[in-house]
Amino acid sequence: MHKVFDNMNNKKKPFLILIGAGGHAKSCIDVIEQSKSHRIFGLIVNKRKSSLKIFGYPIIGTDKALKKLSNKNLNALVCVGQIKTPKIRMNLYRKAIEAGFRLPVIISPHSYVSPHAKIDKGTIIMHGAIINAGSVIGKNCIINSNALIEHDVVVGDHCHVSTAAVLNGGVILGNGSFVGSGTVVKEGVKIGYNCIVATNNSLFANLKDNKIHKS
């Protein structure tokens, strides 16, 4: 019932469609509801599912419907998770851009984002995350729950900084890279493109492109 009430009282808020309907999409829904920045129009899936709704929001089509939906002047957000590879999120982001969607930044009201930080389009900042001064976050990123992005960190496009991960001051995270839950990256470390830093790790040295770091 509360979703209907919220929608009725936020008629001026722009509509947003969610591309994806899995576990990460559920977390995104909660952030969007709490932020009250957009009204959720519905969800896009890769293949038709038996379920017609997620948390009361309708599944409105598959990826093939994106171009038709863009005629309704909607915003979109990629809500597929990213661990092993960024390719799925990158492909969906490209499709959304080509279809003419606007991809807003979504920020949980339960996070902290410094007014001296910069965040690019299509990125979501989840509950409890902290983005400190001088940091720059690229396009189509996930900064997940309780992650800490310290001062002057640069996070490239299509990255996922997972739950409770810490990027200390001046860290550079290359495009398409993933930092696992609970991992701490030492200040000033440079991580290349398409890297994976596994869960519950410490990283003290630079990592070249396309590398996997495990303890």
Q: For the segment 96-116, what is each residue's pLDDT rounded down to a tens digit?
A: 999 999 999 999 999 999 999
Under 8 Å between Cβ of 180 and 164: no
Separation of alpha carbons 66 and 143, rounded Å: 25
Tell me which fold the domain 2-98 belongs to: Rossmann fold (3.40.50)
- Pinpoint the residues of the chain covered by CATH 3.40.50.20: 2-98
CA-CA distance, 200 to 181, in Å (whole number)?
A: 6
The whole model's pTM is what?
A: 0.93
What is the pLDDT averaged over residues 203-212? 97
Name, in order, each residue with C-beta under 8 angstroms of 89's C-beta and a sequence gap of 6 or more.
78, 80, 82, 140, 158
Tell me if 63 sits within 8 A of 37, measured CB to CB.
no
- 115-125: average pLDDT: 98
Checking if the pLDDT of 50 tops 60, the result is no
What pLDDT does 177 receive? Answer: 98
Percentage with pLDDT > 70 across the chain: 93
Residue ranges, CATH 2.160.10.10, the chain: 105-200
Q: Is the pLDDT of residue 18 over 70?
A: yes
The domain defined by 105-200 folds into: UDP N-Acetylglucosamine Acyltransferase; domain 1 (2.160.10)
Average pLDDT over residues 136-164: 98
